[in-house]
Amino acid sequence: MPPRPGSPLPAALAALLLTATPVGAEPIAPADRRSGFDQMGPEIQAMQRDEGANPGMLAVADGAELWTAPPVSGRPSCAGCHGEASGSMRGVAARYPAWDARTARPIDLHGRVNACRREHQGAEPLAYESPDLLALAAFVAGESRGMPIAPPDDLRLAPARAEGRALFEARQGQLGLSCATCHDANWGRRLGSALIPQGHPTGYPLYRLEWQGMGSLQRRLRNCLTGMRAEPFGYGAPESIALELYLATRAAPLPLETPAVRP
């Protein structure tokens, strides 16, 4: 709940509110960028490294089955068009969000999966955060594990990238916080008992212990906005895609870790 009028703010939160992030300030320099994995305890790091212990690998296995399963329309499966994912999908997730010529706007990996279902498989799109969409995205992204994040250098993406940066730096919600207040100006410090990461999207979809399941980057963004007492953007909304695009640009060239494990 928001603090009661006249009640003192917790010291850690008050410090964040007083931290000014200059408009237009440069993001974290490439040499200083760190994955949230680096700030995890040894138990979680070990869980992520070990495919037999990483719970996100169950979603990857489900995605592998969905990759070869033909849709009810009788049209080809994903594998029927793309073949072995180990070859055709290598590096693909590292280049999303990308420009979608059909809709003339940016699209993220989840949106691309659903676009393929509609246009090439005659199938209904999968709901955001549904197990099947998360599984397919995790399977495809897993084929780029270890590869550097490399968002397209496409001028058509420039307006959305600029919008994403503006959203990242804008103070919003009842607490007047911005994404940059925590993840640029205060990373490495603590907010209560939680260590503040740089906020790079290196492992999505990922398994979050708090959720006891898989989740997308957009789910995490909505969680953050709710924590700032701000109105969260809808799944698939232009603002959500713009933020994803800027975050990918901000994170490059860190390697993809999908499926990551986080607290």
Which active-site residues does the annotation give?
224
The answer to whether the beta carbons of residues 260 and 203 sit under 8 Å apart is yes
Give the pair of three-digit tokens for residue 236: 């698939």
> What does each C-alpha distance from 258 to 17, 121, 245 come to in angstroms?
33, 26, 17
Residues near 26 by Cβ (< 8 Å), separated by ≥ 6?
none
Phi-psi map region of 28: left, alpha, beta (phi>0 left; psi -120 to 50 alpha): beta
> What does each C-alpha distance from 108 to 21, 135, 141, 164, 198 come to in angstroms?
28, 15, 12, 13, 21
Q: What are residue 174's phi and psi, to 5 degrees?
A: -65, -25
Q: What are residue 92's phi and psi, to 5 degrees?
A: -65, -50
Give strand ranges (E) for the chain: 98-100, 105-107, 190-191, 194-195, 206-208, 213-215, 261-262
Give the pair of three-digit tokens for residue 84: 């072995």
